[in-house]
Amino acid sequence: MFSVLRISFAQNLVKSNVLGAHLLHPTCTKSKGIGSISTRTLSSVQETSDKSQDNGRDFKSYFPEIVRQLKGKAKIYDLDEGKHFERVLEYNAQSGKLNRGRTMVNTYKMIVPKTDLTEENLKLANYLGWCIELLQGYFLLLDDIMDGSITRRGKPCWYKLEDIGLGGINDGMMLEATLYQVLMENFSHLKCYTKLMELFQEVVFISILGEHLDLRSAKQDVLSFTMELYNMLNINKTAWYTYYLPVACAMYLAGYTDEMAFRRAQKLLLDIGYYFQVQDDYLDVYGDPTVTGKIGTDIQDGRCTWFVVTFLKHATDAQKVILKESYGKNDPKCVERVKKLYEEISMLEIYKKFENDTRKTIMETVEGISGGLPKDVYYMMMGLLHNRKS
C-alpha cells in the first residue's frame, strides 16, 4: 500500500455511523464464504475489464425509467411540465463511460448469491448505480463552470449552451437533488435506506471539501505546492465518490454488516482512486481531446497536480523560475513552456515508472487479501484502468 493511505486523515474522514452495521436487506444477504475466491494473476486483469462491460446495455436501459419517474414528480412543481428538468438529466447524466454506476451493479452481482439476482433486486441495483451517475453529473457540471471548461464528453459543456449560462449552477443542484429523490422513491422501504442516505451525504461532504482544496490551491504560488497537499485533495475530491461509494453502496444493498469489511475495502479502494486521479492528471496534459472528450486546462488553471508537484521535486532553480512565470496563465505559449519544462526532466518516464510501480503494489495487495470482498471486485476496477485513454 503506497504512502497516501498512511496519512492519518484518510482513516478519520468517514464517521462511524456510515461504516457501522445496518439491518439486512430483506431479500439480499451476504453469502457464506464470500471471500473464498481463486487467486488471479496480473495477466487476467484485462479479461476482467472486458467482462465488466457486459452489463452496459442493461444499465443504460434503466435510465429512461428514472427520467420518467423524476419528471412525473417535477411536473407538480414546474410550469413547463418538467421539460427543462428532463433536458438537464439527459444532457448531463447519461453520456460518458458510466463506470461508477456499472461498477456498483457489477460489484453487487459479484457479492450476492445467484438466487438473490431477482428482477426486483437487479432493478434496485441499477437504480442505485444511476444515483451515483447523477452525483457524477452534478460534480462535473459545476466543475466545468468553475474551471471555465469548453467541452465535456465530446460536446459543449452544459453552461456553454446559449440558453443556459450560469443558470447551469441551479441545474447542477437539481442533479444532486434528484439522486435523493430516487433513493426516497425506491429505497425507503428497505432497512439499508438510512445507511445509503448517510453514505451519499458523507461522500458529497468529503468531495465538496476536496473541490474546495483544489480551487484554493489554484490561487497559491505554484512553488508552494507539496505532495501532502496533492494527496489530500486527490483522495477527497475523487477517490471517495469514484471508488469507495460504488462498492459501499453494493455492500449495503447486499446486506453487509461487518464494519471491518467496510474498512478493509475502503483502504484499498482509496489507493485505487489515487491511482485513477494521477492517470487523470496525465490525460489532462497529454491525452487526446478527441478520445478524452475534454480539453485539458490544469496548467492554465494553475491546478495542484501530480505532474507539477513531481516536477518541483526534480527541477533546478532556473526551471522553477520559468514555471512560476508560466504556470496558471491562460496563454497557449505559457502552456507549451510548462510542457517543455516537463519534457526537460523526462516527466513521462517518471510517470510511467510511477504508474507501473503503483499498479504492481496494488495488485500484490489484492493477491494477499483473505476474506472480505471477492478479489474479482478489485480486478474489475484495475482492469478498467489498464491502458486507460479517457
pTM of the predicted model, to two decimals?
Answer: 0.84
| Terminal-residue alpha carbon distance, the chain | 25
**What confidence tens digit (pLDDT) does each residue in 4-25 have?**
433 333 343 333 333 333 334 4
Residue 370: per-residue pLDDT: 85
Residue 13: per-residue pLDDT: 37
* Domain spans of the chain, in order of start: 57-189, 193-389
Residue 370 burial class via C-beta count within 10 angstroms: exposed 0-12, middle 13-18, buried 19 and up: exposed
Neighbours of 215 (CB within 10 A): 16
Residue ranges of the chain whose pLDDT lies below 70: 1-57
CATH architecture of 57-189: Orthogonal Bundle (1.10)
Q: Do domains 57-189 and 193-389 have the same CATH topology?
A: yes
Which CA distances in Å does 249 have to 22, 30, 165? 12, 13, 34
Residue 255: per-residue pLDDT: 94
Quote the percentage of the chain above a pLDDT of 70: 85
Are 369 and 375 contacting, i.e. CB atoms less than 8 angstroms apart?
yes
Are 158 and 287 contacting, i.e. CB atoms less than 8 angstroms apart?
no
CA distance 309 to 275: 15
The three cell numbers of residue 133 are: 451517475
Q: If you average pLDDT over every residue of the chain, what do you get?
A: 86
CA distance 343 to 349: 9
| Residues whose CB is less than 8 angstroms from the CB of residue 35 and which lie 6 or more positions away in sequence, other chains included | 369, 370, 371, 372, 373, 374
Which CA distances in Å does 353 have to 41, 267, 273, 279, 311? 20, 23, 18, 12, 14
**What confidence tens digit (pLDDT) does each residue in 97-108 have?**
899 999 999 999
CATH 1.10.600.10 for domain 193-389: yes
**What confidence tens digit (pLDDT) does each residue in 266-285 have?**
999 999 999 999 999 999 99
